[in-house]
Amino acid sequence: MRTTVLILAGALLASPGLAQAQQGMPTAPTGPNVGILEVGGRVTNITGDEARFQRFRDLGDGAFLQKFSFDRQEKNWLVNLGAVNVGYEDQRYTANFQQIGKLKASFSWDQIPLFYSRETRTLFSNQGNGRLTVPDGIRLGIQSGDATLANSIGGLSPFDLKSRRDNASFAMTYTASRDVDLTVDVKTSHREGAMPFAGFIGSSPGNMTFEIPAPIDDRTTTVKAAMEWANTRGILSVAYDGSTFDNSLPALRWDSPIRYTAISGGGAQGQLAWWPSNTAHTVSATGGLKLPGRSRATAFVSFGSWNQNNALLPATINPALAAPALERATAEAEARVVSTNLGFTSRPNRFVALNARYRYYDYDNRTPHFTLATTIVGDNTLGSAHEIEPMSVKRQNLDVDVSWLPHTYAAFKVGYGRETADRTFRIFERTNEDVFRVSADSNGNQYVTLRAKWEYSVRKGEGFEEHLLVDVGEQLGMRHYDVADRNRSRATLMVQVTPADLVGFNASVAAGKDDYENTTFGLRNNENQAYTIGFDFVPVDEVDFNVSYGFEKYTALQYSRTANPAPNPQFNDPTRDWTDDSADKVHTTSAFLEMDKLIPKTQLRFGYDISRSKATYVYGLAPNTTVTPAPVQLPPLKTELQTGTADVRYFLRSDVALGFVYWYNRYAVDDFSLSPSTITRLDLTGALLMGYLYKPYTANSFALRLTYLW
């Protein structure tokens, strides 16, 4: 394919029409057919982490068909065909057809790669069906002491660790009559490859974690069918949504590199349930009705059924241990979902507007309880009893906003909202949150746009279930941040000023704070701030320049206690408390310049973006602490990402252009957790890694392209 593209580019350059372009600039062809063809070649030089540079794209060297688009329009119908990055791992194809007033149909297919690393190494080999093996000779040698992990991994060759998702979709709308539409929408996505994952096996005398290239092979398919009736008074739609997730690998099983023979103190293999296959079915109805007084009412209701019935795995695959009996052979997981959304809007006069909405969501988990008298940890040791508790939630939301519009360019709004959530098997049986908000808008004015909003909410828990914390050995002062008592405040301000057509300014400020006032252990508070400022300059129609700067900051304070479980006296010793005060800061600057035909026959585009982030974690101890040794403060985490582009296009004639593109990418990272200076070998104490690290890169890409319009 890539060789063919180069031949095609040469043929276009040698065409008689192009030779005639040296004597004049004829206008581009007109008619029912319109198309774009863009071909060329690319060379990329990468220093550092090549996989991280590409990540979700394919910028490989060679010829490319960057873009193809063809449109044909007749009196009663039109068709469009498109293709992007043909032959590469991020290619995309589209097709659209429309018969005016009767039929719409579209199809698309694309690929999304995910590159993890090109420098990973592993002892594990994928044998298919979720089975990862290590050569028996290596396992026997390490078990007997005749070999070591370090010697065994010394000669391993690097391999590409990556996956890819292939997506296809088809949508069609058929207009059966003036008021009735029938629609069908089908999407399917297949993901295949491998990802880094941690497996665990208990072994005597210690436990060990193995980083493995976990295989992936699954497909997600969704289907939607709907019938919609609409006229000037209202709308009614009835729909069905179905979804299936099929995982061809229901479980992963891996060898222990350090043991060949299983004993009661350590297994020779480990096993883990992978994402389970499941189905979901939902039927819904949507309606809207136009009412007197410039009012409108809407309603939506749906009923869903979610099911998963995969076979349950045994508690252990270690033949030296007696696995406890399972209560049932399959999961029998089932949930019923009911969702309702009611809305009402009204503007009885030009000064007042009302918007009200009520939402109801009931997730009823009907999965039967499941209890194990004993558990086995890491295929090694017996653990305590374990119970699976099906958690359910019933959530209700009410929101009401009233707007006052005293002027064409001004609006003021006040609003109130309340959310009530009932949950099972959570430390609070119910949470209630009240939200108050006010806002002011000034828009429609060509010179100034102003938007401001302030919001304050209070969440309180009811029915505290202390025994749930006791059952899992947590401190009684522990509060889970998603249900804990919380006071939240948020404020935003956005201003846009355009004193003249050629210049514009914009700025925004946002700040928020969450205060968990009744939390002893866990997240105590967090704050966030964001500022942006931008400038646009358009001195003439052919020139567009803009530059912007943004700053974001996020802070959080968490409390914890280092202690042995109760009844050990450490459990209630406040001198063993410690805190983690974290802060994340991000600075982002962007600039863009476009000059379209300011220089005859030439388009110029330049862009530059730089983002710098810094994260710090500061640990503190309680007064008169008994925690020893004192925590060592971690170094800050720093990242920097720079991207720059230069795009020059010269029109040999109105329908043919030659172009040159340069991309610059630089990523710098200093992260102690997965740094090459921190992890200097794959065989660490208690762990065997693959070498997936945070590494910097610098990339320079050059491309020549030919664009042909017809």
pLDDT digits (tens, 9 = 90+) for 538-558: 999 899 999 999 999 999 999
Within-domain flag for 550: no
Provide φ and ψ at 285, rounded to 5°.
-140, 140
- Judged by DSSP in three states, 486 sits in strand
The DSSP element (H or E) to which 52 belongs, if any, is: helix 50-54
Chain centroid to Cα 672, Å, comes to: 24
- Judged by DSSP in three states, 152 sits in helix
CA–CA separation, 619 and 634 (whole Å)? 9
- Judged by DSSP in three states, 8 sits in helix
Within-domain flag for 525: no
The answer on pLDDT for 193 being more than 70 is: yes
Biggest CA pair distance of the chain? 94
User: pLDDT value at position 444?
Assistant: 67
Looking at the chain, the whole-number percentage of residues with pLDDT higher than 70 is: 94
User: pLDDT value at position 216?
Assistant: 97
User: pLDDT value at position 407?
Assistant: 84
Q: Count the neighbouring beta carbons within 10 Å of the beta carbon of residue 500.
A: 8
Q: Provide the token pair at 584.
A: 């994340």
Most confident of 225-239, 250-264, 443-457: 225-239
Q: 258-267, 352-361, 419-428, 485-494: lowest mean pLDDT where?
A: 258-267
Confidence of residue 208 (pLDDT cuts 50, 70, 90): confident
386 or 305: whose pLDDT is higher? 305
* Four-point Cα dihedral 7, 10, 14, 20, nearest 10: 130
The answer on pLDDT for 28 being more than 60 is: no
User: pLDDT value at position 205?
Assistant: 58
Whether 596 and 650 have beta carbons less than 8 Å apart is answered as no
The answer on pLDDT for 315 being more than 50 is: yes
User: pLDDT value at position 685?
Assistant: 84
Burial class (CB within 10 angstroms; exposed 0-12, middle 13-18, buried 19+) of 682: buried
CA–CA separation, 217 and 274 (whole Å)? 11
Whether 387 and 371 have beta carbons less than 8 Å apart is answered as yes
Q: Provide DSSP, 215-283.
A: EEEEEEEEEEEEEEEE-SSEEEEEEEEEEEEEES--EEEEE-TT-SS-BTTB-SEEEEE-PPPEEEEEE
Within-domain flag for 229: yes
Mean pLDDT on 119-144: 94
The DSSP element (H or E) to which 54 belongs, if any, is: helix 50-54
Within-domain flag for 210: yes
The DSSP element (H or E) to which 16 belongs, if any, is: helix 16-20
Q: How many residues does the chain have?
A: 710
Strands 522-537 and 131-133: unpaired
User: pLDDT value at position 259?
Assistant: 87
CA–CA separation, 523 and 515 (whole Å)? 9
User: pLDDT value at position 204?
Assistant: 59
Burial 205-222 (b: 16+ CB within 10 A, else e): eebbbbbbbbbbbbbbbb
Most confident of 14-18, 34-38, 486-490, 669-673: 486-490
678 or 420: whose pLDDT is higher? 420
CA–CA separation, 634 and 153 (whole Å)? 30
Within-domain flag for 617: no
Round the average pLDDT of the chain to a whole number and report it: 91
pLDDT digits (tens, 9 = 90+) for 654-671: 899 999 999 999 999 999
Neighbouring residues of 164: CB distance < 8 A, sequence distance ≥ 6: 89, 111, 112, 113, 114, 191, 192, 193
The CA-atom distances, in angstroms, between 514 and each of 335, 417, 492, 523, 686 are: 32, 18, 15, 10, 39
Whether 660 and 703 have beta carbons less than 8 Å apart is answered as yes
pLDDT digits (tens, 9 = 90+) for 58-117: 998 999 999 999 999 988 999 999 999 999 999 999 999 999 989 999 999 999 999 999
CA–CA separation, 663 and 658 (whole Å)? 17
CA–CA separation, 365 and 331 (whole Å)? 13
Neighbouring residues of 44: CB distance < 8 A, sequence distance ≥ 6: 59, 60, 61, 699, 700, 701, 702
Question: Which residues, listed in sequence order, are joined to residue 704 by a DSSP beta bridge?
Answer: 41, 660
Whether 330 and 311 have beta carbons less than 8 Å apart is answered as yes
The answer on pLDDT for 380 being more than 70 is: no
The answer on pLDDT for 14 being more than 60 is: no
Residue with tokens 């819904």: 284
Whether 690 and 120 have beta carbons less than 8 Å apart is answered as yes
User: pLDDT value at position 13?
Assistant: 42
Provide φ and ψ at 344, rounded to 5°.
-145, 125
Neighbouring residues of 227: CB distance < 8 A, sequence distance ≥ 6: 180, 181, 182, 183, 237, 238, 239
Within-domain flag for 605: no
Within-domain flag for 243: yes
Confidence of residue 522 (pLDDT cuts 50, 70, 90): very high
Tally of domains in the chain: 1
Domain that holds residue 652: 72-514+566-576+645-668+685-709
CA–CA separation, 80 and 708 (whole Å)? 17
Burial 158-186 (b: 16+ CB within 10 A, else e): eeebbbbbebebebebebeeeeebebebb
CATH number of the domain enclosing 327? 2.40.170
* Four-point Cα dihedral 538, 539, 544, 548, nearest 10: -60
Global pTM? 0.88
Within-domain flag for 470: yes
Q: Count the neighbouring beta carbons within 10 Å of the beta carbon of residue 459.
A: 21
Residue with tokens 């990556």: 162
